[in-house]
């Protein structure tokens, strides 16, 4: 059965925790299992009735987590250690990702790559950016940008080079798995 984008909201409660400087919510496996993908999933939702739209990142263990920025925490009137009520629903149309400065510069320097970049979906751009960002090594990052351009020019519209169910936020993960809260 195909996933329906007009599904009932997924409701659950979860505790706010911290990994390094990041404030997050780990989704219960039961809530994550209702999502259309083990990879990143864009959702509209509420935390304590405060509206947000954000990607749910994979945790590398078959579930997801949500990064809580200051605006979301304040709007939800929540803080570290609180248990909050969430209601989420996957969205079909993904917003444009924020393009990192080095990738933006490389795209401005390569007209053909930029044309291909602009022709792919926002969802595909999110994946390419995740793959590029999934390294701490500046040289590897540069190589990944070059490979992205090469693959786009060869007609590859989606990133096929990484496991989408791994956590790619380097500050909160190790070997593709979300770290435990501190």
Q: Where are the domains of the chain?
A: 10-90
Q: Would you write out the chain's pLDDT as a tens digit for each of its 182 residues?
A: 344 445 679 999 999 999 999 999 999 999 999 999 999 999 999 999 999 999 999 999 999 999 999 999 999 999 999 999 999 999 999 999 999 999 999 999 999 999 999 999 999 999 999 999 999 899 999 999 999 999 999 999 988 777 899 999 999 999 999 999 98
**Yes or no: is domain 10-90 CATH 2.40.30.100?**
yes
Consecutive H or E run containing 64: strand 64-67
- For residues 113 and 107, the answer to whether their CB atoms sit within 8 Å is yes
Instruction: Name the helix (H) or strand (E) containing 56.
Output: strand 50-58
Give the pTM.
Answer: 0.89
8 A C-beta contact, residue 124 and residue 159: yes
């Amino acid at each position: 059965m195909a996933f329906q984008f007009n599904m009932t909201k997924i409701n659950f409660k979860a505790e706010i925790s911290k990994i390094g400087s990041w404030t997050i919510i780990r989704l219960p496996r039961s809530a994550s299992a209702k999502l259309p993908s083990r990879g990143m999933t864009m959702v509209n939702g509420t935390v304590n009735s405060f509206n947000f739209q954000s990607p749910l990142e994979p945790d590398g263990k078959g579930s997801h987590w949500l990064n809580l920025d200051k605006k979301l925490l304040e709007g939800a009137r929540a803080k570290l250690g609180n248990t909050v009520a969430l209601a989420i629903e996957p969205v079909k149309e993904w917003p444009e990702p924020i393009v990192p400065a080095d990738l933006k510069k490389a795209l401005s320097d390569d007209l053909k790559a930029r044309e291909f970049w602009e022709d792919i979906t926002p969802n595909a751009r999110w994946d390419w950016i995740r793959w590029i960002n999934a390294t701490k090594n500046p040289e590897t990052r540069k190589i990944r940008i070059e490979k992205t351009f090469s693959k786009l020019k060869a007609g590859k519209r989606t990133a096929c080079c990484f496991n989408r169910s791994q956590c790619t936020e380097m500050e909160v993960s190790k070997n593709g798995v979300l770290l435990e809260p501190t």
